[in-house]
Copies of this chain bind each other. A is one copy, B any other.
Amino acid sequence: MPVPPLGDYPPEEFRTEGHRLVDWIADYLVWSLDNPVLPKVRPGDIRSALPSAAPESPASFEEILADFERVLVPGLTQWNHPRYFAYFPCGFSSPGMLADFLSTAVSQQAMLWRTSPAATELEEVALDWLRRAMDLPEGFEGVIYDTASTGIVHALAAARQAGVPDVRARGLAGHASFRIYVSEHAHSSVDKAAITLGLGLDSVRRIPADGEHAMLPGALAEAVAQDRAAGVVPFAAVATVGTTSTTAVDPVAAIADVCAAEGLWLHVDAAYAGSAAILPECRWAFAGAERADSLIVNPHKWLFTPFDLSVLFTPRMDVVREAFSLTPEYLRTAEKVKNLMDTGFQLGRRFRAVKLWTVMRAFGVEGLRARLRDHIRLARLLAEWVDEDPAFERVAPVPFGVVCFRAVPPGVEDLDALNERILGRVNDSGEMFLSHTKLGGRYVLRMAIGNIRTTEADVRRAWELLQGACAAG
């Protein structure tokens, strides 16, 4: 039944269509297991299957869902498939998905406490639950952003504000050049933040890493000294716990020492690996993080919370507010409260906290730990298989759920080309999806284990496909 001439669906119509959709999703979650992880469409296929202008007349939701299935499902990359091993895992889980539905249904928009007391206060509660589970200090206050890319813009804006207090009013014009230090393996979001903030790409100085891809703190100290001598103003360093290519762990404590000595803002990028801080046996990787000025963790990566939900923790939220708080008359309210709009440039915000709260309750911290431990176990198992097979070599340690390796069968001249062919073959199989990186100029395969539905059988099947693709030459 299409919508009436005015207004929304009648509630009973929503009920009917909602039940239809839930059944469709339940079926899809099963169906998807036996369908391509990486879709088989070519660029333009979907666009050309759709009309070029919107229809004038209404369609029923049933028709729309049928078209979604026919035209769009073949173009879905299955991020929540158990054999999706590319990039980083996605935080899909059924309880998280249900909570996200709930968030959409209640239409909260928590710019002010008044515009959603529930979303404002649940964000505080859920983030404090997460902070405790990760064993971060009590003084760390949290805020939810959409992505870590947005989070790091805010973290570095706070660093900029702390270093250049008149930047809020007067901007960077007329100032000297500033410098942010990152490992050579840091994520590109730091570069994009530097562009956004008007610091420029040249403000990001990449510090060399050791053989295990971790930043060399001695090299950091040297770079700072060089820059000071050259009249460039150091103001922040980013330590990564779990780099994108290899999940390498920068020595946070040693970097914190340099930051303390030099008066730099220390940001810890734990977007992926931060979730592992809920495991006591992984806490070593976060030693020194208690001295950070800011830290980012993405529950939408490896904590079963559907995209998007990234968290910035900081003991210096006052500086974030100093940079961004600004209340025009039409947003003034009488309450003495925390208004989330003061912690960033985004005014509107979804009720994201309900996803994280639901996930932590649905699994319990114990259940979250069990799942992360299983993913790490599977990653180590794969690492063993790689180590035992002379046709492969592992190229990085495996502290979390990502294994980096490449095929090195004897007698092949162009190993990069071989590994690229292997990647293409396993992805074309439709049975799995893997991505790559480069380390020291060499093409490397990268298998990220962390989706909630991934089992040992999935990892075993992936390894068989990889061995087969290598044997095919």
Contacts and interface: CB of A to CB of B under 8 A. Distances in A.
A50 interface: yes
B452 A54 contact: no
A124 B47 contact: yes
Given A97-B105, A118-B76, A245 B330 contact: yes
Interface string A343-366: 001111110001000101111111
A219 interface: no
A429 interface: no
Contact of A44 (B121, B324, B364): B121
Interface string A174-204: 1111100000000111011111111111110
Contacts of A411: none
A209 interface: no
Interface string A15-47: 101110111011011100000001101011111
Contacts of A336: 43
A363 B58 contact: yes
Contacts of A9: 93-95
Contact of A22 (B8, B19, B29, B64): B19
Interface stretch (A289-297, A381-389, A432-440): A432-440
A71 B123 CA distance: 14
Interface stretch (A109-117, A256-264, A279-287): A109-117
Interface in A113-154: 113-118, 121-122, 124-125, 128-130, 132-133, 146-150, 153
Contacts of A229: none
A394 interface: no
Contact of A364 (B57, B102, B130): B57
Contacts of A234: none
B198 A348 contact: no
A211 interface: no
Given A43-B113, A172-B198, A193-B345, A330 B446 contact: yes
A18 B7 contact: no
A136 to B, nearest CB: 13
A434 to B, nearest CB: 12
6 contacts: A25-B105, A59-B362, A153-B345, A167-B200, A172-B175, A329-B437
Given A98-B21, A347-B189, A374-B6, A118 B46 contact: yes
A87 interface: yes
Given A46-B121, A94-B9, A191 B346 contact: no
A90 B109 contact: yes
A153 B367 contact: no
A300 B55 CA distance: 20
Given A147-B348, A169-B200, A109 B175 contact: no
A225 interface: no
Given A306-B107, A367-B5, A347 B147 contact: yes
Counting chain B CB atoms within 10 Å of each CB, which of A25, A74, A86, A195 scores highest? A195
A267 interface: no
A299 to B, nearest CB: 12
